């Protein structure tokens, strides 16, 4: 989602066209800092290669710190960030457990200030360090 938003054509927003964002919140151990060993990840993903891996782990730590300072989880912070991107973006998080549904709903009450949004952008200016997909599997936005 972070990679797409900067390239979103202005016509999408001005034409009242909606964008359904389905954020991946399923790997919560990565979000909470529970996974910090690089060898558990696919070797072809540049986000988990030396240099990028350490930057991503540090970003997760900082995002958890920001979320905790607001009395929220990092998943709630991610959903609140999406909600702050415009009225035409509708997050559709998947949940397997009732507790996660309640947690996700709590994101609607989380108010992010302009300062918070700037901080998130400083922590992850492009949605993470390294490419999310190998080039042959990367999506093409038209």
Q: For residue 127, which of 29, 44, 59 has the smallest C-alpha distance?
A: 59
User: For position 41, what pLDDT does the model report?
Assistant: 57
In the numeric block, the tokens 């009395």 are attached to: 71
- The residue among 4 and 67 whose pLDDT is bigger is 67
Instruction: Provide the angle, in degrees to the nearest 10, between the axes of the packed helices 74-83 and 98-106.
Output: 50
Are residues 38 and 53 in contact, defined by beta-carbon separation less than 8 angstroms?
yes
* Distance between CA atoms of residues 92 and 43, nearest Å: 29
Q: What percent of the chain has pLDDT over 90?
A: 39
The residue ranges of every structural domain in the chain are 26-36+43-130
pLDDT digits (tens, 9 = 90+) for 96-127: 889 999 999 999 999 999 999 999 999 998 87
């Amino acid at each position: 989602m972070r990679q797409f938003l900067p390239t979103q054509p202005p016509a999408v927003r001005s034409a009242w066209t909606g964008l359904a964002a389905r954020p991946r919140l399923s790997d919560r151990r990565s979000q909470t800092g529970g996974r910090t060993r690089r060898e558990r990840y696919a070797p072809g993903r540049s986000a988990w290669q030396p240099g990028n891996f350490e930057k991503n782990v540090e970003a997760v730590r900082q995002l958890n710190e920001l979320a905790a300072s607001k009395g929220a989880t990092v998943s709630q912070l991610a959903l609140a960030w999406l909600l702050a991107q415009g009225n035409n973006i509708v997050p559709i998080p998947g949940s397997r457990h009732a507790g996660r549904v309640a947690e996700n709903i709590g994101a609607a009450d989380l108010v992010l200030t302009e300062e918070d949004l700037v901080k998130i952008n400083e922590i992850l200016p492009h949605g993470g360090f390294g490419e999310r997909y190998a080039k042959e599997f990367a999506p093409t936005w038209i």
